[in-house]
Amino acid sequence: MPGKKEAAQGTGYPVRKEGLRKRRRVGETIIQSLLFFAGFFSIFTTLGIVYELGKEALLFFRTPEVDPWEFLTGTSWQPHINEFGILPLATSTFITSLIAMTIAIPLGMAAAIYLSEYASHKVRRTLKPILEILAGLPTIVYGYFALMFVTPLLRSLFGNDVVQIYNMASGGLVMGILILPLIASMSEDALNAVPRALREAAYGLGATKLEVVLKVVVPAALSGIAAAIIVGISRAIGETMIVAVSVGAGPNFTFNPFQSAETMTGHIVRISGGDLSYDSIDYNSIFAIGLLLFFITLTLNIVSQRIVRRFREVYE
């Protein structure tokens, strides 16, 4: 540094004492710290979730009535007689999600392929916003639809004695309709990102349109599509209002989709709907279920991000 200064003096220009060093600006530092705090704030949210859920869940598992092993393997969830087995809640979450995904994956992918590869520009410009509106409706609206339209439809198709008023099938179906546009929209983005040259090359080799789509474009976009599907699954597992309205109120260990049951999310909503007193076992139990839910969806989201990062085909 001193060398530099001398050199500057040597040229004869007046040099101020602080030289060319950056001046400390208090205002800039304060603003930068505030911005850093805003950026860091989201870490607090995560820590808050993990800490609060963990703490209360720990209290839940510490109570003598609860056995962690029974929690994971028990087939009965009845807090009033101290039976805390998560399976009935977990299976109904699994079944509704499964039904939803059987609807949403094929239809969503097919819609994405149609919009990206077949539809004319004009058709796409009309259809895509419609699908986005469908994805943007509040889920309680879907819950109303499940209860008022899909359940009566199922009951008239399969008979009132087979299909209960509250059942997993209608919740699952409507959840599929909710997730369909999500998968369609994300997959379409992935398909669109495949460069045109790949398609032209395949056409040049004599492939038909379908062959280009299924053997070239879809494989090239597979990472994006897989990520869309995983995000869809995670959404289905965490979905609450549709199942709270249409699936039922009462845990039921069953694999029959036409019976009523209660999902993990549905249970949390019902339990906390009343005035919940703190430090009761009910209060602690929703944290334990929430923690499980958090870890499942977090794992799925991380997997989906990994897939995108690792398997993405990068074209210039």
- Enumerate residues 222-251 that contact other proteins by CB under 8 A: 231, 234-235, 237-241, 244-245
The minimum distance between CB 10 and other proteins, in angstroms, equals: 26
Candidates 71, 77, 84, 145: give the one binding other proteins (CB under 8 A).
145
46 binds other proteins (CB under 8 A): yes
- Among residues 244, 230, 241, 251, which one has the least CA distance to residue 296? 230
72 binds other proteins (CB under 8 A): no
Candidates 59, 297, 312, 313: give the one binding other proteins (CB under 8 A).
297
| 117 or 259: CB nearest other proteins | 117
**Interface of this chain with other proteins, residues 173 to 212, rule: CB under 8 A:** 177, 180-181, 184, 208-211
- Among residues 309, 307, 316, which one has the least CA distance to residue 193? 316
**Interface of this chain with other proteins, residues 116 to 135, rule: CB under 8 A:** 117-119, 127, 130-131, 133-134
| 10 or 22: CB nearest other proteins | 22
Where does residue 16 rank: exposed (0-12), middle (13-18), buried (19+ CB within 10 A)?
exposed
Those residues with Cβ within 8 angstroms of residue 215's Cβ, 6 or more apart along the chain or in another chain = 202, 207
Cα distances from 278 to residues 198, 266, 289, 291, in angstroms, run 60, 20, 16, 17
Where does residue 51 rank: exposed (0-12), middle (13-18), buried (19+ CB within 10 A)?
exposed
> Do 169 and 163 form a contact (C-beta atoms < 8 A)?
yes
280 binds other proteins (CB under 8 A): no
Candidates 3, 10, 24, 45: give the one binding other proteins (CB under 8 A).
45
| 87 or 286: CB nearest other proteins | 286
287 binds other proteins (CB under 8 A): yes
| 37 or 158: CB nearest other proteins | 37
**Interface of this chain with other proteins, residues 19 to 38, rule: CB under 8 A:** 25, 27-28, 31-32, 34-38
Where does residue 17 rank: exposed (0-12), middle (13-18), buried (19+ CB within 10 A)?
exposed
Assigned token pair, 33: 């710290």
114 binds other proteins (CB under 8 A): yes
What span, in angstroms and rounded, lies between the C-alpha atoms of 183 and 176?
Answer: 10
